[in-house]
Structure 1
Amino acid sequence: MDATTRPLRIPPEMTIYAEKHDIFDMLQCMVRQLVIDKPEDPIQYLIGMLKKGNFEVPRVILLGPPASGKRTVAKALCERTQAIHIMVEHIMKEDPDFSGEPQRYQERGEAIPHDLWIRMIQQRLSRIDCVRRGWVLEGIPRTREEALGLQEAGIAPEHIVVLEAPDDVLIERSLGKRIDPETGDVYHVAFMRPEDETVRKRLQPPKEALSEEQTALRLKQYHSHAHTLLRTYERHLRYVNADQPHVDVCAQVLTHVLARQRSSAPHTPRILLFGPPGSGKSLQARLLAKKYNIVDICSGKLIKAVYADESCTGDLIKPYLEAGEPVPDSIVLQIVTARLSRLDCTTRGWVVHGFPRDMEQAEKLQETSHIPSRVFFLDMTDEVAVERLSLRAVDPVTGERYHTLYRPPSCPEVQARLVFNPKDREIEVMQRLEEYWAHLPLLQDFYPDAIHINADQDPHAIFESIESRLVGRLPKTLMNSQP
């Protein structure tokens, strides 16, 4: 970037790097924690945060009444994300710095003081395993007072999930609850039986099995605190119906936790549209460009424009176009990257269609600084593609486009003068489709995070599907951190 020139042109590499590593969100997080903790030495504090590393770890509070399945969901969630499962029992067992004070309160049958309990939670969550891998607090906080104490201590979860179910269902679950003494996993005699016969034989009732009356009393106690507790987090709650198979409950919670919150970070859309001939790539590109003010780049039109402007590159591709031969990949890449490097593309974003056509072109594009942030495949069958293309025509007088099946002309006079493009003959279309399908598997492998959209539907429905995946952030990848 040349600081002496105006206006300043920010290289596309800077934007790609910032978005790839979530630089804006990382700075936002660091400033937020700086304001919360108010350290004496802000610089060393920020250096310490950076040394700890991962900012994209799950920080989840899982709440719900007794027997709602919190333990099962928490274990499944931690297994998939590698986060640390934290329960009240875990915090009570770990006492490195409190000299047995919490246990003495328990032995006397007294409640642990609020300030001490908050410090115990804070200490556990500040350990390196929770910092690097994230955490899931099961059934913590239990009251509004605890919730406010955690907030004052700077413990801010990204997600608060509340499991809910009718009391009669919860009582039935509590009475049928069974524990695997070797693993601690929770099962139920009717709703969640283990598949392994060996595990099934060693199941036992909980050590402190509750009667129906005791369970009802615990539910009453939970409800007495739940209203004020949940009001503390009311803007961030996600309710999940626990009265359904535990597999579905776990899937819903996991989807919610992996969904990233909306970011205020600046984002420059860089979109690739793939699809067979007739899938509507050009139309979707126009709609995206119009709504989001991004640059619509069709590789075919771009090459024709370069040919028409009689530049050096135009003279270079002239022999190929006049002979009806494909322009070499190196020249096409040069033309496309030159267009993507212009100021409007780097500042507003772009949507490219018609390029890359094969694996080799995709690899060459990836080697440049113009890396897409979203890739879409518009999927449709050959039959639909042939029907769309072979029956379309143009009125040479008005330039109006028609389709003999979906949009026929209103009068015989227009019908008589319609012109069909020779390239839209069925045999020509089938050849283009064969070429597309031949390269498709490798392109799909090259863009594993690409989004597939059904293109055999109304164009506005397709646009809404694309748009919904464009404005939201991509889900978090599952953590692979080691303890």
Structure 2
Amino acid sequence: MNIILFGPPGAGKGTQAKKLVDFYGIPQISTGDILRANVREGTELGLAAKAYMDKGELVPDEVLIGIIKNRLNEADCEKGFILDGYPRTVPQADALAVILEEIEKPIDIVLNFEVPDEELVERISGRLMCKCGASYHKTFNPPKEEGICDACGAEVYQRADDTSDAVLNRLDVYKKQTQPLIEYYEAKGILVTLDGTKDIDVVFEDVKGILAKFA
């Protein structure tokens, strides 16, 4: 099955994507990851992308879609894939539809995780990180000793883009960017919106119920 995931920052999209990967055995494809991999490996498209990235410019859609097409043709995508972070615009969605038709891998379903803004702000603005990779939450999962990582004893910190004001700005950008895409896939009859406020495992049961006809 071929899936696109939508969801604002903090909606749990990444958590659900990991569960999908583990349960269905299909890869999660992040445009950022495959861009970096192509640059690192020095592929023709990677070098083209690097030329723009080195100048601080956005990688053009025609380069990005070529990299995505190559990735979707790899063997691990034979049974399906999860697109995360792409498309971000309607022109990108149109370009994606063209290449998916060429490789005969149309999108089956678009899952859209919805959570009210006030809950997203609470979720994200309470996050705490540690340099060792451990993560906490001021309310839901605080470290045993305030300000100190349970795992390594280092001081935990809050990311600069996890403050309330920064989160609200990120949500505003997401809505402006994504709303046209939600309407785009609604018109195609393949978008399903889920309640992301539920417990993680309950949300995943909802997801599995929706995907049952494709599995």
TM-score (norm 2): 0.85
Shift in CA distance, 326/455, structure 1 to aligned 2, threshold 3 Å: farther
The Cα of 1:444 is off from its aligned counterpart by 2.1
TM-score (norm 1): 0.40
Match of 1:447, SS? Answer: helix
Aligned to 2:42: 310
| Runs of 4 or more consecutive aligned structure 1 residues displaced over 6 Å after TM superposition | none
Counterparts of 1:401 and 1:306 in 2: how far apart (Å)? 29
Aligned to 1:441: 179
1:202-281 equivalences in 2 (<5 Å): 269-281=1-13
The Cα of 1:322 is off from its aligned counterpart by 4.5
Aligned to 1:418: 156
* Structure 1: 5+ residue stretches without partners: 1-268, 474-483
The Cα of 1:323 is off from its aligned counterpart by 5.0
Amino acid at match of 2:32: G
* Structure 2: 5+ residue stretches without partners: none
1:407 matches 2:141: yes
Deviation string 1:207-236 (CA, Å, 9 cap, x unpaired) is xxxxxxxxxxxxxxxxxxxxxxxxxxxxxx
1:359 matches 2:90: yes
Deviation string 1:3-55 (CA, Å, 9 cap, x unpaired) is xxxxxxxxxxxxxxxxxxxxxxxxxxxxxxxxxxxxxxxxxxxxxxxxxxxxx
Q: What's the RMSD between the two structures over aligned residues? A: 2.0
The 8 Å contact of residues 271 and 373 in structure 1, kept in 2 or not, is answered as: yes
Aligned to 1:340: 72
State percent identity of aligned pairs: 31
Amino acid at match of 1:327: V
Deviation string 1:307-361 (CA, Å, 9 cap, x unpaired) is 333333333222444455432222221221211111110x221111111112111
Q: Which of 7, 10, 26 is the matching residue for 1:294?
A: 26
1:452 matches 2:193: yes
Deviation string 1:249-295 (CA, Å, 9 cap, x unpaired) is xxxxxxxxxxxxxxxxxxxx101111111111111111011011111
Aligned to 1:476: none
Counterparts of 1:357 and 1:404 in 2: how far apart (Å)? 31
Counterparts of 1:359 and 1:438 in 2: how far apart (Å)? 12
Counterparts of 1:387 and 1:307 in 2: how far apart (Å)? 36
Deviation string 1:168-188 (CA, Å, 9 cap, x unpaired) is xxxxxxxxxxxxxxxxxxxxx
Counterparts of 2:163 and 2:61 in 1: how far apart (Å)? 27
Match of 2:198, SS? Answer: coil
Aligned to 1:470: 211
1:12-411 equivalences in 2 (<5 Å): 269-345=1-77, 347-369=78-100, 370-396=105-131, 398-411=132-145
Shift in CA distance, 319/439, structure 1 to aligned 2, threshold 3 Å: same
The Cα of 1:421 is off from its aligned counterpart by 2.3
Counterparts of 1:401 and 1:308 in 2: how far apart (Å)? 28
Counterparts of 1:411 and 1:327 in 2: how far apart (Å)? 44
Which protein is bigger by CA-based radius of gyration?
Answer: 1
Match of 1:451, SS? Answer: strand
The 8 Å contact of residues 27 and 81 in structure 2, kept in 1 or not, is answered as: yes
Shift in CA distance, 436/313, structure 1 to aligned 2, threshold 3 Å: same
RCO higher in structure (CA 8 A, sep ≥6): 2
Counterparts of 1:289 and 1:338 in 2: how far apart (Å)? 20
Counterparts of 2:29 and 2:71 in 1: how far apart (Å)? 8
Counterparts of 1:389 and 1:322 in 2: how far apart (Å)? 30
